[in-house]
Structure 1
Amino acid sequence: MSFLALVPLLPLLTAFIVMTGDRAEQDQNARAGLLPVAAAFLGSLIALVAVTSGDPVTIQFYDTASVANLAFPIGFYIDRLSAVMMVLITGVTMLIYRYSMGYMYQDRGYRRYLGMLGITTAVLLCMVSSANLVMLFVFWQILSWLLFLLAHNHGHAATLSGAANTFTMLRLSDAAFLVGIVLAYSLYGTFEFQTLFARAADTPVTLSLWPDLGWEMNGVTAVTLLIFVGAMGKSAQFPIHTWLPRSLYAPTPIHALLHAGIINAGGFLLNRLAPLYGLSPATLHVVFVIGMLTAMLGATMMLTQNDIKKTLGFSTIGQMGYMIMECGLGAFSLAVFHLIAHGLFKGTVFLNCGNVIHKARQEPTFPPIDREMEESEFSNLTWSTGFLTTLLLPLVILLVTHGVLRIPLIDSQGTVIFLFFIWVTSSQAILSLTRIRAVASWKVSAAMLVTLVIVVFTYLFAVESFTHFLYPNPEVVASYFKAAALPGRLFDSLVVGTTVLTILSWVYLYAHAHGRTVTIPGWIEACLVRLYVLCMNRLYLDQLYLKFGRIVTLVAHHLEKRLS
């Protein structure tokens, strides 16, 4: 199966084809450049079938003993996780490339754009199929550099500023990633994934942070926390998420690739190092908190934006928060399932986003406002169906879980996590359907029930089949959930709080539709207005970081003068 090593290199052939020849041949070369990407997609499918029916494919062009001599270890490790990511990356890239042939053909940098698309795809494939931490980090770094180049139109001041901000923010997070790798090698003496996992599990190490005060930290916790900062940067986690909204001046197809593939790198990294993270409950708790904050803030800031690209950008930040939060709860397979679904969805949305923007510029009233739909009466049937299905869903899930899957929920917080996400996702989808008023209410109610069935069975598939596919050993899955387990009272509080919030949402919807007002104290209304302004301005983090950068620059100039 050594020919699989050629799959990550095929998109480089695309870059060579489209960037050679004169401008008169660019259309012909662009069409020819699609073939290597399609071949890479076919090769990824073959790799997925191969590793599903057999063992992971390991291809090493180096001797593991030579790593100590600083020889660059080039090799490929393709397991089920790598193969799934390769299929996702090549499939999305193939669609984006084909779309770009019609969307970007009049751009002066058309050939450079397609060439960069091929190079970025090759780097992504090499990153997800890396055989060791060093190779993974090298391609992780190259990807960070490519994000600056993918901004494309550097003659535009805002585009250049956003690209520079992206470059700076990712340098900070990547520096922590590098320190984590160096620390891992100093503690365990290897860059190889499987060897690293085995040594970390067999030889616990304690680091003395401040010997005089007795401050100590587990070695695995220190390594995983530092590497997680790198994942935070790539996946735009709070508070280093600001680079993503500022990079939205790049071509729309590039954002389809960014939001469907590149930004998933954080979730992939945590899954690739899942055995290491499973050894550190403290790190998993930090991952959960960061993911939850990012999900809440991303979704809130999304609702206050007035630009379609920024709305989609903050939507991605919120979804990446969910993905990281799932990793922090030990549901690594659910995070991969989430990033695949989000990647396919958000890639399609961004490709269509360009058409919407173009149409809106031609017609100021686009999209048209349907006054009849806005003024149509609220349906009690729709509200009752949504309310009852949302509240009865936990009971349905319990019956299915106990009767079909026969899982003891009391002894499995991990299973409750999967069921909790089923409920929250279906509640959001069902609640959004109540906005459809111009359609007969019985049709909307039927759509709610169909949505409920689809979401429930999709998540049950993620629980049963996809989890077993990525992590065949059930004891390993149970160990991840055990390591990530939250204190009982905290976990119960999160479930109860979400339940109350869901019920209040339906009550508010019913009262608002019937012209009833909910009395709110004046100080709460004032806080809500300030919160809206705060979220609309993205928590003023951009201005805060700008001032901090100026202070650092002034201090650096002052020190330079003193030392010179």
Structure 2
Amino acid sequence: MPIVVLVPLLPLIGALIVALGGSNSVHKRAKIAIFFLGAAFLGSALTLWHVATQGPITIRYYDPDSLASLVFPIGFYIDRLSAVMMTLISCVGMIVYTYSVSNMFQDYNARRYLSLMAFTVFVLLCMVSSANIMMLYIFWQLLSYLLYILAHNHSHGPTLAGAFRTYTMLRVGDVAFLIGIVLAYQLYGTLEYSTLFERVAESPVMLTPFSGVEISGATAITLFLFIGGICKSANFPFHIWLPSSLFAPTPMHALLHAGIINAGGFLINRLAPMFGLSSTVLHLAFAVGLITVIVGGLMMLRQNDIKRKLGYSTIGQMGYMIMECGLGAFALAVFHLIAHGFFKGSVFLYCGNVIHHARKEPSLPHIVTSRKPTEFSFLTWFTGLVTTLLIPLVILLAIHDVLAIPLLESQGLMIFLFFIWITSTQAILSLTRIRGVASWKVSASMISVWFFVIFIYLFAAETFTAFIYPNPAEVEFYLKAAALPDWLFSTIVVAVSLVIITSWSYLYISARGGSIRVPDWIESFKVRLYRLSMNRFYIEKMYEGLGRFFMRVLNRIVGHDAGWSK
């Protein structure tokens, strides 16, 4: 199906239409380019249908057995994962670009900005449909350059500083990515996906980086590729570039948070057969994702700027995505990034309107001066207790006793159950803050939320997983590779349960007008945690200090060399 090549080329044609021509007709040409992005979306949807019914599409313009795969690695491999990502990117790109045509109409550099937006969609489509790792890396690098250019207003000091920080941090990930590619080619002699996966599985190689330390070739390769992925997806400790880039136009951030930042999750899924051979890297991904979720969430709660709050929210969500990959739930991570992409893209487009109205109307945002007291409702609390504690407990007991499924040996199942439990509980706990609403309405909302979350997660766990990874043995292999030690898994389960029970107890006692005596060390810890999150855990300060240290070292080296040459 060679016509599929036209799908990524359509946004490129749109970018050229906007870029080439006089300044007087920029707006008209920008509107014409919308049709090309719309055609790319329709083409992506048709490609998804074709791949789902007929199988993957492979097109190569090079000989995979020659050095052409390194010099001219242009080709396309589109399976279900690629087709889903192409549909997401083209849909979000079309919406964001259409919004940008009106939003940036009066901007002096609108032609450059709009052409680069369309070009970015082209780069993303080529990246997710790459036939080999080398082509993926080429377009991966182009994204780093584009994020620097799309900062747009480089005459503004903070914008330029944020763009430079973004470019510098992403280059760290690009270098790690390149090291992984070089290592893969050195050990296995190919960069073709299927061939590389087969050779890694059939011929394990052991490396000795230090005396007495041995790691497998799969672990070494995926470790460097993982560093590249978490840099692009703004995971800890490489997350600082995302808040620094928030001076860029809001539509650009809609595309960034809905498409570009998902690159890390796509990379791990694209190379899932290799990541599945390294439990070490998967455990590291779980730890990094968990830290990112906690750090990103705490920093988000302390922001008073709408774009920065959304930025740190994205960091936390990317942590969830990487954590799901670390648990072997690769399809769930793809489902997560799709849902987050549509949600965060629409929120960023709307937040531009909020900012605009807030500048024009002093009454925005509205300040609530008084609140009605919340009446205690036994029905509301009983419903919350049943839906968040008793029903999940009954389900776990039924799985263990009635269905005779050993839970500790089925961590994949437990992972999905706990995601359901945590998500539904979080949503239901927020409903307890609804004021002035009859209790039966709140209870009905709790039950509706519970069933809705269960349906969504079961769909993600079953239908979507079967669509992206149709081989059940492959899914089971990934889940087993990512399985945590029993003691650690049990600790996480107990900790999450205690957090949920403690949250309900605190809200219940507060609603009844009571108080909880908290030890002094907890109050002190809360103050310190608040201070740390307000200062973003001083991570940016540490990077700045590290940069000054390296600059002093380099200056001394340069000074010694200059003195020696004299």
TM-score band by shorter chain is over 0.9
Q: Is the 8 A contact 1:397 1:419 kept in 2?
A: no
- 1:528: how far off? 1.0
Structure 2: where are the runs of 5+ without partners?
none
Q: Is the 8 A contact 1:238 1:290 kept in 2?
A: yes
SS at 2:247 equivalent: coil
- 1:58 aligns to 2:58 (yes or no): yes
TM-score norm. by structure 1 comes to 0.96
Deviation string 1:227-286 (CA, Å, 9 cap, x unpaired) is 000001001110110001111111111111111111100000000000000111111111
Question: 2:202 maps to what in 1?
Answer: 202
Cα distance in structure 2, aligned partners of 1:256 and 1:435:
30
Cα distance in structure 1, aligned partners of 2:419 and 2:159:
37
Of 45-54 and 540-549, more deviation after overlay is shown by 540-549
- 1:144 aligns to 2:144 (yes or no): yes
SS at 2:73 equivalent: coil
- 1:405: how far off? 9.4
For the structure 1 residues 364 and 509, does the alpha-carbon distance in structure 2 shift closer, same or farther, using more than 3 Å as the test? farther
For the structure 1 residues 396 and 86, does the alpha-carbon distance in structure 2 shift closer, same or farther, using more than 3 Å as the test? farther
Q: Is the 8 A contact 2:233 2:261 kept in 1?
A: yes
- 1:436: how far off? 1.5
Q: Is the 8 A contact 1:373 1:436 kept in 2?
A: no
Q: Is the 8 A contact 1:401 1:407 kept in 2?
A: yes
For the structure 1 residues 436 and 217, does the alpha-carbon distance in structure 2 shift closer, same or farther, using more than 3 Å as the test? same
Q: Which amino acid is 1:50 matched to? A: H
Q: Among the aligned pairs, what percent are the same residue?
A: 59
Of 319-328 and 537-546, more deviation after overlay is shown by 537-546
Structure 1: where are the runs of 5+ without partners?
none
Question: 2:413 maps to what in 1?
Answer: 415
Cα distance in structure 2, aligned partners of 1:555 and 1:349:
44
Question: 1:288 maps to what in 2?
Answer: 286
Of 502-511 and 515-524, more deviation after overlay is shown by 515-524
Question: 1:16 maps to what in 2?
Answer: 16
Q: Is the 8 A contact 2:70 2:134 kept in 1?
A: no
For the structure 1 residues 251 and 69, does the alpha-carbon distance in structure 2 shift closer, same or farther, using more than 3 Å as the test? closer
Q: Which amino acid is 1:248 matched to? A: L
SS at 1:50 equivalent: helix
Q: Is the 8 A contact 1:151 1:163 kept in 2?
A: yes
Of 438-447 and 501-510, more deviation after overlay is shown by 438-447
- 1:43: how far off? 0.5
Of 358-367 and 168-177, more deviation after overlay is shown by 358-367
- 1:384: how far off? 2.7
- 1:440: how far off? 2.4
Matches within 5 A, 1:153-552: 153-210=153-210, 213-371=211-369, 373=371, 375-395=373-393, 397-398=395-396, 409=407, 411-552=409-550
- 1:406: how far off? 9.0
Aligned length: 562
TM-score norm. by structure 2 comes to 0.96
Q: Is the 8 A contact 2:16 2:115 kept in 1?
A: yes
SS at 2:67 equivalent: helix
- 1:395: how far off? 3.7
- Quote the RMSD (CA, aligned, Å): 1.8
Cα distance in structure 1, aligned partners of 2:517 and 2:404:
46
- 1:22: how far off? 2.3
Q: Is the 8 A contact 1:376 1:438 kept in 2?
A: yes
Cα distance in structure 2, aligned partners of 1:501 and 1:365:
38
Q: Is the 8 A contact 1:18 1:26 kept in 2?
A: yes
Question: 2:560 maps to what in 1?
Answer: 562
- 1:522: how far off? 2.2
Q: Which amino acid is 2:154 matched to? A: H
Q: Which amino acid is 1:82 matched to? A: S
Cα distance in structure 2, aligned partners of 1:171 and 1:87:
28
Cα distance in structure 1, aligned partners of 2:26 and 2:340:
33
Question: 1:123 maps to what in 2?
Answer: 123
- 1:323: how far off? 0.5
- 1:511: how far off? 2.2
Deviation string 1:381-427 (CA, Å, 9 cap, x unpaired) is 33332232111341464488689999664542111111111111111
Q: Which amino acid is 1:31 matched to? A: K
Q: Which amino acid is 2:58 matched to? A: T
- 1:432: how far off? 1.3
- 1:330: how far off? 0.4
- 1:52: how far off? 0.2
